[in-house]
Structure 1
Amino acid sequence: MNIEEYAALDATGLAEAINSGDVTADEAAELATDAINAVNAELNAVATGPFDRPLDYAAEGRFAGVPFAIKDLVCHAEGVPTRMGTRMLGDGVTPPADTHLMERFRAAGLATVAATTTPEFGYSANTEALAYGPTRNPWDTGRSAGGSSGGSAVLVAAGALPVAHANDGGGSIRIPAAVNGLVGLKPSRGRVPLGPDLDANALSGLAIEFAVTRSVRDAAALLDEVAVGYPGDRFIIAPPERPFAYEAGADPGRLRIALHTDAWSGTAVDSEVVAAVEEVAHTLEAAGHLVDRATPSLDWEPFLEATAVTWSAFLAESVAGVEAMTGTSAGPDNLEATTWACVQYGRGLTVLDLAGANALFVRISRTVGEFFGDYDVLLTPTTNYPAMELGYLNANDPDLDALGWTQRIFDVFSFTPLFNTTGTPAVSLPLGQSSDGLPIGVQLAGPMCSESMLLRVAAQLEAAMPWRDRRPAVHVTTV
Structure 2
Amino acid sequence: MLVAHDRVHAFGDDALGDHDAVALAALVRAGEVSPAELARAAAARAERLQATLNPVAFPAHREPWGAAGADPAAPLFGVPTYLKDNVDLRGLPTGQGSAAFRPRPAGRNSGFTDQFLSTGVTVLGKTRLPEFGLNASTEFAAADPVRNPWNPEHSPGASSGGAAVLVATGAVPLAHANDGGGSIRIPAACCGLVGLKPTRGRLVANDMSRKLPVDLITDGVLTRSVRDSAAFFAAAERYHRNPALPPLGLVEGPGTRRVRIGLVLDSPLAVTDPQTREAVRRTALRLESMGHQVSETTLPFDAAFADDFTLYWGYLAFLIALTGRLTVDRSFRADRLDGLTQGLRRTYLRGMLGTPGMLRRLARVKDSYAGLFQAHDVILSPVLAHVAPPIGHLNPNVPFEELKDRLERYVAFTPVNNIAGGPGIALPTGAAANDLPIGVHLSAAHGDERTLLELAFALEADQPWRRIQD
TM-score, normalised relative to structure 1: 0.90
How far has the Cα of 1:217 moved from its partner?
1.0
Partner letter of residue 420 of structure 2? T
Q: Which residue of 1 aligns with 2:259?
A: 255
Change (3 A) 1:21 1:131: farther
Change (3 A) 1:400 1:458: same
DSSP 3-state at the match of 2:227: helix
- Distance (whole Å) between structure 1 residues aligned to residue 372 and residue 428 of structure 2: 26
- Distance (whole Å) between structure 2 residues aligned to residue 465 and residue 202 of structure 1: 40
1:72 paired with 2:75, answer no
Which ranges of structure 2 fall in alignment gaps of 5 or more residues? 1-10
Q: Which residue of 1 aligns with 2:393?
A: 392
Deviations 1:308-328 (A, max 9, x none): 221221222233342225334
Check the 8 A contact 1:117/1:132 in 2, yes or no. no
Q: How is 1:308-319 mapped onto 2 (pairs within 5 angstroms)?
A: 308-319=310-321
Q: How is 1:464-475 mapped onto 2 (pairs within 5 angstroms)?
A: 464-467=462-465, 470-471=467-468
How far has the Cα of 1:132 moved from its partner?
4.5
Q: How is 1:326-345 mapped onto 2 (pairs within 5 angstroms)?
A: 326-328=329-331, 330-332=333-335, 334-345=336-347
1:426 paired with 2:428, answer no
Which range is displaced more, 97-106 or 406-415?
Answer: 406-415
How far has the Cα of 1:50 moved from its partner?
4.2
How far has the Cα of 1:2 moved from its partner?
6.0
Check the 8 A contact 1:157/1:472 in 2, yes or no. no
- Distance (whole Å) between structure 2 residues aligned to residue 355 and residue 252 of structure 1: 45
DSSP 3-state at the match of 1:114: strand
Change (3 A) 1:128 1:198: closer
Check the 8 A contact 2:156/2:187 in 1, yes or no. yes
Q: Which residue of 2 aligns with 1:476?
A: none
How far has the Cα of 1:395 moved from its partner?
1.3
- Distance (whole Å) between structure 1 residues aligned to residue 453 and residue 337 of structure 2: 39
How far has the Cα of 1:297 moved from its partner?
2.0
Change (3 A) 1:115 1:131: farther
Aligned length, in residue pairs: 456
How far has the Cα of 1:400 moved from its partner?
1.4
Q: Which residue of 2 aligns with 1:114?
A: 125
Check the 8 A contact 2:135/2:340 in 1, yes or no. no
Which range is displaced more, 319-328 or 179-188?
Answer: 319-328
- Distance (whole Å) between structure 2 residues aligned to residue 369 and residue 460 of structure 1: 25
How far has the Cα of 1:29 moved from its partner?
0.6
Which range is displaced more, 104-113 or 303-312?
Answer: 303-312
Deviations 1:388-423 (A, max 9, x none): 1001112123x315xx65443121121111111111
Check the 8 A contact 1:315/1:343 in 2, yes or no. yes
Q: Which residue of 2 aligns with 1:379?
A: 380
How far has the Cα of 1:367 moved from its partner?
2.1
Change (3 A) 1:116 1:390: same
How far has the Cα of 1:339 moved from its partner?
0.6
Which range is displaced more, 404-413 or 334-343?
Answer: 404-413
Partner letter of residue 88 of structure 1? A
Q: How is 1:144-159 mapped onto 2 (pairs within 5 angstroms)?
A: 144-159=155-170
- Distance (whole Å) between structure 1 residues aligned to residue 190 and residue 117 of structure 2: 28
- Distance (whole Å) between structure 2 residues aligned to residue 131 and residue 221 of structure 1: 38
Partner letter of residue 372 of structure 2? F
- Distance (whole Å) between structure 1 residues aligned to residue 21 and residue 277 of structure 2: 31
How far has the Cα of 1:456 moved from its partner?
0.7
How far has the Cα of 1:449 moved from its partner?
0.6
Check the 8 A contact 1:71/1:118 in 2, yes or no. yes
Check the 8 A contact 1:67/1:161 in 2, yes or no. yes
Check the 8 A contact 2:164/2:175 in 1, yes or no. yes
Q: How is 1:431-446 mapped onto 2 (pairs within 5 angstroms)?
A: 431-446=429-444
Q: Which residue of 2 aligns with 1:306?
A: 308
Q: 2:244 aligns with which of 237, 250, 275?
A: 237
Check the 8 A contact 2:163/2:176 in 1, yes or no. yes
- Distance (whole Å) between structure 2 residues aligned to residue 163 and residue 203 of structure 1: 31
- Distance (whole Å) between structure 2 residues aligned to residue 295 and residue 315 of structure 1: 31
How far has the Cα of 1:345 moved from its partner?
4.0
Which range is displaced more, 203-212 or 63-72?
Answer: 203-212
How far has the Cα of 1:230 moved from its partner?
6.8
TM-score, normalised relative to structure 2: 0.91
Q: Which residue of 1 aligns with 2:6?
A: none
Q: Which residue of 2 aligns with 1:368?
A: 369
1:292 paired with 2:292, answer no
Change (3 A) 1:124 1:34: same
- Distance (whole Å) between structure 2 residues aligned to residue 165 and residue 284 of structure 1: 29
Q: How is 1:202-217 mapped onto 2 (pairs within 5 angstroms)?
A: 202=212, 204-217=214-227
Q: Which residue of 2 aligns with 1:320?
A: 322
Partner letter of residue 316 of structure 2? F
Check the 8 A contact 1:36/1:50 in 2, yes or no. no
Partner letter of residue 456 of structure 2? A
DSSP 3-state at the match of 1:205: coil
- Distance (whole Å) between structure 2 residues aligned to residue 284 and residue 274 of structure 1: 15
How far has the Cα of 1:436 moved from its partner?
2.3
Deviations 1:171-228 (A, max 9, x none): 1000000010000000001111125x34456472111111111111111111122247
1:56 paired with 2:66, answer yes
How far has the Cα of 1:248 moved from its partner?
3.2
- Distance (whole Å) between structure 2 residues aligned to residue 335 and residue 102 of structure 1: 26
Partner letter of residue 28 of structure 1? L
How far has the Cα of 1:131 moved from its partner?
6.4
Partner letter of residue 65 of structure 1? G
How far has the Cα of 1:268 moved from its partner?
2.7
Check the 8 A contact 1:268/1:384 in 2, yes or no. yes
DSSP 3-state at the match of 2:283: helix
Change (3 A) 1:129 1:341: same
Q: 2:53 aligns with which of 43, 52, 65?
A: 43
- Distance (whole Å) between structure 2 residues aligned to residue 252 and residue 395 of structure 1: 46
CA RMSD of the aligned region, Å?
A: 2.2
DSSP 3-state at the match of 2:284: helix
- Distance (whole Å) between structure 2 residues aligned to residue 405 and residue 2 of structure 1: 39
Check the 8 A contact 2:338/2:396 in 1, yes or no. yes
Which range is displaced more, 443-452 or 321-330?
Answer: 321-330
Change (3 A) 1:200 1:442: farther
- Distance (whole Å) between structure 2 residues aligned to residue 224 and residue 385 of structure 1: 33
Deviations 1:426-475 (A, max 9, x none): 000001111221111010001111101111111111101211x51169xx
- Distance (whole Å) between structure 2 residues aligned to residue 3 and residue 65 of structure 1: 19
Q: Which residue of 2 aligns with 1:22?
A: 32
Q: Which residue of 2 aligns with 1:275?
A: 278
Deviations 1:135-169 (A, max 9, x none): 00000000001000000000100010100000001
- Distance (whole Å) between structure 2 residues aligned to residue 114 and residue 274 of structure 1: 37
Which ranges of structure 1 fall in alignment gaps of 5 or more residues? 474-479
1:221 paired with 2:225, answer no
Partner letter of residue 309 of structure 2? T
Give the share of equivalent positions with the same residue, in percent: 33
How far has the Cα of 1:19 moved from its partner?
1.3
